[in-house]
Structure 1
Amino acid sequence: MAEPDPRRWKALALLCAANFMVILDSQIVLLAVPSIQRGLGLAASGAQWVLSAYLLGFGGLLLLGGRAADLAGRRRTFLAGTVLFLVASLACGLAWTGGALIGARVLQGLSAALMAPSALSIVTATFGEGPERHRAIAVWGGVGGFGGTAALLAGGPLTDVLGWRAIFFLNVPVAALLLVLGPLLLAESRGAARAYDPAGAASVTLAVTAAVFGVVRAPEEGWTSPWTAGAFAVAVLAGAAFVRAESRSAAPLVPLRTFRSRTLTGGNAVTFAAATAVFGTSFAVSQYAQGVLGYSPLVFGFATAVLPVAAVAGSYAAQAALGRWAVRPVAVAGLAVMAAGCLALGRVTAGAGYAPGLLPGLALLGFGLGTCGVAGSVAALAGSADGDAGLASGINTASFQLGGAFGVAAASTAVASWTDGTGPAALTAGFRGAFDVSAGIALAGALVAGVLLAAPARRTVPEPEQVRVK
């Protein structure tokens, strides 16, 4: 039996820094959008694309990025993505027009689609199955949960003190450090040698990109508008073409047998539901705190500090729980706690103070997110062989990003539907509706996870990690 790599914990710290940076950048612009809009003279629709462009690039290429890591080499793919991320972040910070910024954000998303799945697949290749891998994934999940919520904490102060360009320049030294230390700490690995699958790559990229486009445009255009309906129709047709291509390919990008694993499917359902609930709730909380309670971005950033702290606590609690219990009760409990946090926020009033109004819900939401991040990742990666680690990581990361995009869209739609007027009470009613919708999504995710993770995972690939799911 091979000795564990003595550099593995230092490598994990490096990879977690990359994960934090990638997840942070998907949401950090949320509080900076008004400043970007004023600085570059963007219309409201153009300002929205500063956020959406990253999601399009990230979500559209994730599966291809994951498989590229398996075929071309995980360390090589990770470092290539990091170089691209550094260049794109620099371009974002130096953008002179709205169009230049949106284009750079697309490039930033594409680079993240190479970095994120290759980093997680390096984690699974570096740590052997069992408690040590669970511990590593707990750290990974905790950092991811922290990054997903720290965007609200960091975005406001950075924008207020240093200006909106600082949120992009922040990435440059971090990416440079990754490029210096990556070759020293990360071992190269890859999956079984296979040819590329251009038909599968093109169809799945089109399907995911069209789905993300439809979701991010739905709140503005309407869920039944020609733009939205057309995007979803393209996604369905491209998805059907993808299934057909994969069923006929001798070397498919995504072997269809992958989705026969109940553990993998259930883990990704947990990830999707958790991302939907937390992104939708975070969007509504930021609007409520600033629009109704009158918080400045700086004050709001400090007010939400409880969210990332609770997420880290939840991830370590999940790691400890998985040493005693199966993944199913841990995942279901995490989603239930998230739902409780959303329901607590759904009781806020126009004059609520921080401690009785926001604090309990944010703490519960963060703790549940940390728990779900670990349980979802462990389950999703358990049914994959080492040769498919990059693919499984790409699917799991795609589930998180698609869930996040859907969550913001669902919350935006709920706010518009429940708001009847312009006063604080009317606005609060809209935000409460968004919190309740997020709670419903988290509960639905708990039910789905309870069903999918109820039976032992079917062995669909050679030598998968054994995870208890009952």
Structure 2
Amino acid sequence: MSTPSALSATDAPLAPSPPVRPGTTLLVIVTAYLMVGVDSTVVNVALPDIQQGLHFSRTGLSWVLNAYTLAFGGLLLLGGRVGDILGRRRTLTGGVLLFALSSLLGGLATDGAWLLAARALQGLGGALIAPSTLALITTSFPDGPRRHRALSVYSSMAGIGGSVGLVVGGTLTSWASWRWALLVNVPIGIALALALPRFVPETPRHAGRFDLAGALTGTVGTTSLVYAFIRVSEAGWSDTRTLLGFAAAAVLLAAFLLVETRAGQPVMPLRLFADRNRAGGYVSILLLPAGMFGAFYFLTLFGQQVLRYSPLRAGFAFLPLTLVMFTTVRLVPRLLGRFGTKPVLLTGMTLAALGTGRLALLRPGDGYAAGLLGPLVLVGLGLGMSFMPLNATILSAVAPTEAGAASGLLQTLQWLGGTVGLSVLVTVYGTATRHATGAPDAVLTHGAAHAFGAGALIALAGLLVAATTLTGRHQTAQKHATAGRRPGAEAA
């Protein structure tokens, strides 16, 4: 059922907003989102330390990542609706403060359950932050060259956040403790909470209802699905808990779709899928991270447990991916203007799939230069060419009143794709190594290579969806790029 908000039937008036400073506004918004993206991977390179300190199993260790991304992805749709109803700046500020508090709790954790609860609470904070940031960009920058440049900056933060998290996490873990990978969010969150009312204008509040039944069935259903996949890696496909997990996921996700067709104001408006391009973009942004997200997890284990890298060195090993991705994203608006959305997107997804596929050939004796450097560059180039075209395709022609729902659904599918994808790759890893014999390095590499192969197949599925569903219309992108080159065109 939907819970009514406290607002009247008419939209609430806006409180006085600060003068708009586009550059500063964009900086504050993307910094808030960068904090969320960084925390999706900041603990990756700290996982061996966390495993030793809090006594996780190797497959159970993936819950340190999944507790965050499940709560984050599962509640993003509700977070988007909260922003529409209560105001996006207010929602963003509340999310930042909750994120900082939960980071403090996680940094102080003394056992595994405490840490997982704190990570889930972080995910809730992130679910309030992420859709508000993208919706604020959509409403703060008019459709055209300025929005494309703002989305370019946003996409670069979204793209590099995960790889920056690996570097930051490695540095803090080596120099201090894994706890500081979480505690560092506290001063950043406080600074953002003070800056938001000063530099970011509030958006109108729209009367509406909170679809709690949709949020609950969607989140619990996805959690059951991820649990079932991870259980497979530990106990096999015939295990009773595994089968119950899959059955519960099927029932709950079916209930979610039923609730959404009947809700007056659903957290996932199914009408957003009516447009062919947007529907293809949504499916593609689900599958692309599903094939890529697990790569960070297994590359971190390979770097530290096979190549014997320190956390700091393991984090810096991802710098080529970060630098290539950041540089590529900055060039994408020009590529869109010259070649159009579909060619750029298909090229990027192809390169990302090739990079992950190359990792499937990894062997225990491969060093960094021979085994990792080339694939990291390909993946960075591919992701850099993919995210902004997908964002622009999905958010094109969205009504302002649905900007929060559309952006929330975009990020929901992106993060849930990564979470479910990781659970699938963990299942592939566990199945490949359950009866493997030999040295630990060889066993880990054998399982990781199988996981990378599965990731490449998922990425190829996303490429196929994009190739067959997107229409290839790109006159709008060409028009925006041309307008951006006219003398006197405003910068974002």
- The gaps in structure 1 that reach 5 residues or longer are 458-464
1:431 and 1:41 map into 2 onto residues whose CA distance is 22
AA aligned to 2:456 is: A
The 10-residue stretch of structure 1 (89-98 or 230-239) with the greater mean CA deviation from structure 2: 230-239
Q: Distance in 2 between matches of 1:36 and 1:380?
A: 38
Q: 2:67 is matched by which residue type in structure 1?
A: A
**Separation in 1, partners of 2:209, 2:426:** 42
Please name the residue that 2:282 is paired with: 268
The answer on whether the counterparts of 1:274 and 1:335 sit within 8 Å (CA) in structure 2 is yes
Contact 1:337 1:368 in 2 (8 A): yes
- 1:78 CA drift (Å): 0.6
- Alignment-mate amino acid for residue 174 of structure 1: I
Match of 1:421 in 2: 437
Does residue 1:131 correspond to 2:145, yes or no? yes
Task: Report the Cα distance in structure 2 between the residues aligned to 1:228 and 1:375, rounded to whole angstroms.
Answer: 38
Cα RMSD (Å) of the superposition? Answer: 2.5
Matched, 1:433 2:450: yes
CA distance in 2 between counterparts of 1:353 and 1:46 reads: 28
Q: Does 1:103 align with 2:117?
A: yes
- Counterpart in the other structure of 1:449: 466
Mapping for residues 352-431 of structure 1, pairs under 5 Å: 352-419=366-433, 420-423=436-439, 424-431=441-448
For residues 212 and 378 of structure 1, the distance between their equivalents in structure 2, rounded to whole angstroms, comes to 29
Q: Secondary structure at the match of 2:43?
A: helix
In structure 1, distance between residues paired with 2:199 and 2:108: 31
2:132 corresponding residue in structure 1:
118
Q: In structure 1, what is the Cα distance between the partners aligned to 2:256 and 2:134?
A: 25
Residue 42 and residue 355 in structure 1: after superposition, are their counterparts in 2 closer, same or farther (change >3 A)? closer
> Whole-Å Cα distance in 1 between the matches of residues 416 and 321 of structure 2?
21
Superposition pairs for residues 177-188 of structure 1, below 5 Å? Answer: 177-188=191-202
Larger deviation: 336-345 or 244-253? 244-253
Q: Which runs of 4+ in 1 moved over 6 A?
A: 465-468
Q: Distance in 2 between matches of 1:277 and 1:95?
A: 31
Q: How many percent identity over aligned positions?
A: 39
Q: How much has 1:279 moved relative to structure 2?
A: 1.2
Report matched runs for 1:146-161 at 5 Å: 146-161=160-175
Match of residue 330 from structure 2: 316
Identify unmatched segments of 5+ residues in structure 2.
1-18, 479-492
Q: 1:162 to 1:401 in 2, by over 3 A?
A: same
The structural deviation recorded for 1:216 is: 4.7
Between stretches 45-54 and 109-118, larger displacement belongs to: 45-54
Query: Which among 73, 76, 81 is matched to residue 62 of structure 1?
Result: 76
Query: 2-side partners of 1:205 and 1:452: how far apart?
Result: 27
Task: For residue 178 of structure 1, report the CA deviation from its aligned partner.
Answer: 0.7
TM-score with structure 1 length normalisation? 0.90
Q: Please name the residue that 2:483 is paired with.
A: none
Matched AA of 2:392? V
Q: CA deviation at 1:348?
A: 3.2
Aligned to 2:487: none
SS of residue matched to 1:96: coil
Q: d(CA) in 1 for partners of 2:452 and 2:111?
A: 35
Aligned partners of 1:356, 1:61: CA distance in 2, in Å? 41
Q: Distance in 2 between matches of 1:201 and 1:188?
A: 25
DSSP 3-state at the match of 1:109: helix
1:234 to partner: Cα distance:
2.6
Partners in 2 of 1:224 and 1:380 — Cα distance? 40
* TM-superposition CA deviations, 1:386-425 (whole Å, max 9, x none): 1111111111111121121123223323333444323345
Name the structure 1 match of 2:361.
347
Q: Pick closer, same or farther for the CA change 1:215–1:78 going to 2, 3 Å.
A: farther
Further displaced range: 214-223 or 402-411: 214-223
Q: Give the alignment partner of residue 159 of structure 2, picking from 145, 167, 170.
A: 145
Cα distance in structure 2, aligned partners of 1:467 and 1:233: 44
Contact 2:217 2:255 survives alignment (8 Å)? yes
- Between the aligned partners of 1:435 and 1:198, the Cα distance in structure 2 is 37
CA separation in 1, counterparts of 2:326 and 2:345?
16
Q: 1:158 and 1:221 mapped to 2: Cα distance?
A: 35
Question: Which of 169, 172, 179 does residue 165 from structure 1 map onto?
Answer: 179
Contact 2:86–2:206 (8 Å) recurs in 1:
no
